[in-house]
Amino acid sequence: MGPSRVDFLNEVTAVILDKGFVMVQRNLPAEDLLKQLEKSASGLLANAIGAEPALYWNKDIAASEDHNIFRKDWVCPGLAAEIPKQGDYLTFSIAGEPIFCIRNSSGDIKTYSNVCRHRMMLLLEGTGTVSKVVCPYHAWTYNLNGS
């Protein structure tokens, strides 16, 4: 039997694991979580406490990070050495948007939205090498320079 989850008054979630172990997490509002983090981060190191686990799974915090960080700043999807040859690509997502990087015929790395212009089908998955990008749905085809 797998873990079961119980919510108490929308403040605490208890996950009952196998063998009777219970893991408890507080469901604080994002605003309170951020106040706690700011207080801990601005205090003395001797008084520092571990980050509230909800900072890592709270949906409002994640949405705020997407909006304020990942949509506005540089993101490192990998190393150029991971796609050394023409047509090598890697895929990733930024704030939920599918993206791919590909080494083109000039040896440059270009980055594109990983959805087809026709009906938004995902173009590439994982990593690999292609001579051109062909949509798996209706076969719209893009060269390595994106046209």
User: Residues interacting with ligand FES, by CB under 6 A?
Assistant: 116, 118-119, 121, 135, 137-140
Q: How many CB atoms lie within 10 A of CB 71?
A: 13
Minimum gap (Å) between residue 130 Cβ and ligand FES: 15
Residue 85 and residue 75: Cα distance in Å, rounded?
22
Contact 33, 52 (CB under 8 A): yes
Minimum gap (Å) between residue 94 Cβ and ligand FES: 21
Minimum gap (Å) between residue 2 Cβ and ligand FES: 38
- CA torsion 105-102-146-113 (nearest 10°) is -170
Residue with smaller CB distance to ligand FES, 90 or 133: 133
Residue with smaller CB distance to ligand FES, 16 or 121: 121
